[in-house]
């Protein structure tokens, strides 16, 4: 490259030209991303098929199989997702994230007993997994085992008070968010938050439960978990109003 050409390139880039004989050494070259890192970028961009293809460029591990399973899960290809979660578990039988994620496949298929079995396996390995405790609560709720649902929601909140407030991201652990009985789900969340002393969240889910058509309004008056809210003006306003059912 001629000296003139180099000056023109510098000008185009907005960099003042200098005497090339005294130029500084070139900046260090950026390290090349691994296929897994590139796959993670595709996942963050919700380019799931590209992520799958990129993950496959590297030797299979439990972590990569789980990530491929999540990508298929995001594409709602549950059969492929389940197959990769099972491969991850075969490679690492104590890989709790993959065990949890396989449980969410069973949950999606309304095989709640099998989902519960998977979640219990996770909790034997990592008993402080808030996501899995929340998943277990939802599986019990689907089976109308309401007290067990409430107990596990309470445990999840004790570990992570925001567990029900943020949407499930594309991490390594999937959390069930498709709940069939939404009025009952919101009622038990309201009760769990009230019991934990989290007033604002409790009021929010009381309102949501009524908007979703929860019929047993007296429970908010009579259940001992809501005793601390009885004199709250916002609670009284909610109880006196007739929320528009969504």
Q: What is the pLDDT of residues 109-156, one digit of tens each?
A: 999 999 999 999 999 999 999 999 999 999 999 999 999 999 999 999
Are 229 and 202 a contacting pair, CB within 8 Å?
yes
Overall number of domains in the chain:
1
Question: 7 pLDDT band (50/70/90 cuts)?
Answer: very low
Residue 153 three-state SS = helix
Most confident of the ranges 75-84, 163-172, 227-236: 75-84
Is 54 inside any structural domain? no
pLDDT digits (tens, 9 = 90+) for 41-66: 999 999 999 999 999 999 999 999 99
Answer yes or no: is pLDDT of 105 > 80: yes
Identify the sign of the CA torsion 176, 177, 178, 184: positive
Question: 178 pLDDT band (50/70/90 cuts)?
Answer: low
How much is the pLDDT for 6?
28
Q: What is the DSSP annotation of 61-114?
A: -HHHHHHHHHHHHHTT-HHHHHHHHHHHHHH-TT-HHHHHHHHHHHHHTT-HHH
Is 200 inside any structural domain? yes
pTM, two decimals, is: 0.80
Question: 164 pLDDT band (50/70/90 cuts)?
Answer: confident
Is 226 inside any structural domain? yes
How much is the pLDDT for 27?
57
Is 243 inside any structural domain? yes
Domain that holds residue 207: 179-246
| Mean pLDDT value across the chain | 86
Q: Count CB neighbours of 45 within 10 A.
A: 11
Is 227 inside any structural domain? yes
Is 112 inside any structural domain? no
- Among 178, 191, 182, smallest CA distance to 152 is for 191
Is 238 inside any structural domain? yes
Answer yes or no: is pLDDT of 24 > 60: no
Question: 31 pLDDT band (50/70/90 cuts)?
Answer: confident
């Amino acid at each position: 490259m001629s000296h003139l050409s180099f000056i023109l390139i510098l000008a185009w880039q907005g960099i003042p030209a200098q005497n090339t004989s005294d130029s500084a050494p070139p900046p260090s070259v950026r390290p090349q991303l691994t296929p897994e890192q590139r796959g993670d970028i595709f996942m963050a961009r919700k380019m799931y098929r590209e992520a799958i293809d990129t993950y496959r460029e590297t030797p299979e591990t439990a972590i990569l199989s789980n990530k491929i399973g999540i990508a298929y899960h995001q594409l709602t290809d549950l059969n492929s997702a389940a197959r990769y979660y099972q491969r991850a578990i075969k490679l690492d039988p104590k890989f709790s994230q993959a065990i949890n994620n396989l449980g969410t496949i069973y949950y999606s298929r309304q095989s709640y007993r099998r989902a519960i079995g998977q979640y219990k396996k996770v909790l034997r390995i990592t008993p402080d997994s808030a996501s899995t405790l929340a998943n277990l609560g939802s599986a019990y709720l689907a089976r109308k085992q309401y007290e067990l649902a409430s107990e596990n929601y309470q445990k999840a909140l004790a570990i992570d008070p925001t567990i029900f407030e943020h949407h499930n991201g594309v991490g390594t652990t999937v959390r069930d968010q498709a709940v069939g009985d939404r009025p009952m789900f919101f009622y038990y969340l309201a009760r769990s938050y009230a019991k934990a002393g989290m007033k604002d969240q409790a009021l929010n889910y009381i309102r949501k439960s009524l908007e979703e058509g929860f019929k047993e309004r007296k429970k908010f008056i009579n259940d001992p978990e809501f005793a601390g809210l009885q004199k709250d003006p916002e609670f009284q306003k909610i109880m006196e109003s007739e929320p528009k059912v969504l």
